[in-house]
Amino acid sequence: MPYREKKVEKLYYQIGEVAEMFAEPVSTIRFWENEFEILKPKKNNKGNRLFTQDDLKNLRVIHHLLREKGMTIDGARRYLKLNREEADFKMEIAESLKNIRSMLLEIKENL
């Protein structure tokens, strides 16, 4: 197997970087910040939003519920309030399965 360097993870991400990660407009990320209590990015002296790894994890869950599951904002908010641990667990499983799938596809290409 080829050598892979570990992916470098930053401590803070700017809102533009986050919007690009999720293929969403910056305004959508700002809107979600106002709609979901679990999303609380830090702000620097200029007022720029700085997202941590925890914020990205929460955004992944929100994005999954809204875009992939097709929930409404209210539905996703209620679901997260009642089933926070379950939502995190299901998201981790989905990400693991996506990683396994990509590894298997890479192996298939190398055969």
Distance CA 36, CA 99 (A): 27
- The answer to whether position 5 is within a domain reads no
Q: What span, in angstroms and rounded, lies between the C-alpha atoms of 92 and 26?
A: 25
Assigned domain for 20 exists: yes
Domain that holds residue 58: 13-110
* 3 in any annotated domain: no
Domain-embedded: residue 2: no
Domain count for the chain, please give it.
1
Output the domain CATH number for residue 22: 1.10.1660.10
Q: Tens-of-pLDDT digits for all 111 residues of the chain?
A: 566 666 667 889 999 999 999 999 999 999 999 999 989 999 999 989 999 999 999 999 999 889 988 999 999 999 988 888 888 888 888 888 988 999 999 999 988
